[in-house]
Structure 1
Amino acid sequence: MDPTEVEQLIKAGMPDAEVRVMSPDNTHFETLVVTEAFAGKRAIARHQLVYQCLGTLMGNEIHAMSIRAHTPEEWQALQAAD
């Protein structure tokens, strides 16, 4: 599965999100999702929101996915620290 397709699926489920998806082989993905929808949620709940956008593709077309899930404020603080 092409990273652009994965990105579009996540954006369709989280229209306000900033999404970046990378993949060396189109089955293992690294994803960055930044959205206010993550505010007040633990990491597992954030990942579940991303998985919901991808449905049955997880574990099938998408073999593995590393997810970095941040609120805009968290992402801004991480960038400032670099």
Structure 2
Amino acid sequence: MAMREEDLQAMIAAAFPDAEVTITDLAGDGDHYAAHVVSEEFRGLSRVAQHKAVYAALGGRMGGELHALQLTTAVPS
């Protein structure tokens, strides 16, 4: 089962209300997305910790509804 782009966006935005979230459908199949997430909540966290926080926001859907996520994170400049 695929995940809708809007659902992915909403899940990340719910976990990081201040975030600027950009989702790109990479394959048109609902299984392969790129996400760029910019949030003040990432300040002081390692890149690995930032990514873990985003994956946690997805509630275990990686590997199931969502097959692949090309993730980039950043703090606001």
Q: TM-score, normalized by length of structure 2? A: 0.89
Work out the CA distance in 2 between the residues paired with 1:2 and 1:21: 11
Q: Please name the residue that 2:75 is paired with.
A: 71
**Is there any run of 5+ residues in structure 2 with no aligned partner, and where?**
none
4+ runs of 1 displaced by more than 4 Å?
Answer: none
Residue 22 of structure 1 deviates from its aligned partner by 1.2
Superposed CA offset, 1:2-40 (max 9, x none): 111100000011111110111122101100000001111
The root-mean-square deviation of aligned C-alpha atoms, in Å, is 0.8
Structure with the larger helix share: 1
Work out the CA distance in 2 between the residues paired with 1:9 and 1:27: 15
Percent identical residues = 37
**Is there any run of 5+ residues in structure 1 with no aligned partner, and where?**
74-82
Q: 1:11 aligns with which of 13, 35, 51?
A: 13
Q: Please name the residue that 2:62 is paired with.
A: 58
Work out the CA distance in 2 between the residues paired with 1:11 and 1:17: 6
Residue 56 of structure 1 deviates from its aligned partner by 1.6
Work out the CA distance in 1 between the residues paired with 2:60 and 2:21: 20
What is the number of residues matched between the two proteins?
73
Work out the CA distance in 1 between the residues paired with 2:50 and 2:8: 17
User: Which aligned pairs between 1:34-45 and structure 2 lie closer than 5 A?
Assistant: 34-45=38-49
